[in-house]
Chains A and B, each alone.
Chain A
Amino acid sequence: MNQGKMTNQDQRTNHEKMERALDAVQKAPRYTGGEMNTRIKEWEDTPLRFGFCFPDTYEVGMSHLGLKILYGLINRESWSLCERFFMPWTDMIAQMKENGIPLLSMESRHPMREFDVIGFTLQYEMSYTNILAMLDMGRIPLESRERDEADPIIVAGGPCAFNPEPLAPFIDAFMIGDGEDVMTELNRVILERKEKGESRQDCLRKLAQLDGVYVPGLYDVAYHEDGTVKSVTPVCPEARPTVLRRFVTDLDSAYYPEEIPVPYTEVVFDRIMLEIMRGCTRGCRFCQAGMLYRPVRERSMEHLAELAEKLVASTGYEEISLSSLSSGDYSCLPELIRELMRRLKDKRVSISLPSLRLDSVLKESLEETQQVKKTSLTFAPEAGTQRLRDVINKGVTEQDLLEKCRDAFEGGWSSVKLYFMDGLPTETTEDLDGIGDLARKVVAEYFRVPKPQRAKGLRVTVSASTFVPKPFTPFQWDAQDTIPQILEKQAYLKKALNIKGVTFNWHEPYLSYLEACFARGDRRLGAVLRRAYEKGCILDGWSETFDFGKWMEAFRECGLDPAFYANRVRPMDEILPWDHIDSGISKAYLRKEKERSSRAEVTKDCRQGCNGCGLQRYDGICSWAKGKGDAPCA
Chain B
Amino acid sequence: METFLTILLDGLQFSSYLFIVSAGLTIIFGVMKILNVCHGSFYAWGAYTSAFFIGKFSEMGLPDGLGFVVIVASAIIVGLVLGFLIEQLILKHMYHRDEVLIVLATFGLFLVLEDVILIAFGTDPYFAYQPMALLDSVEMGGIVRDVYGLTLIGVAALVAAGCWFLLNKTKWGTILKAVIFDREMGISMGINVPFVYTLTFIGGAILGGLGGAYIAPTISVAPGLGTEVIVLSFAVVVVGGMGSIMGAAIGSVIIGLLRALAVHELPQVELFVVFAVMAVVLVFRPEGLFAPAKPRKI
Q: Do these two chains really belong together in a complex?
A: no
Residues of A within 8 A of B (CB): none
Residues of B within 8 A of A (CB): none
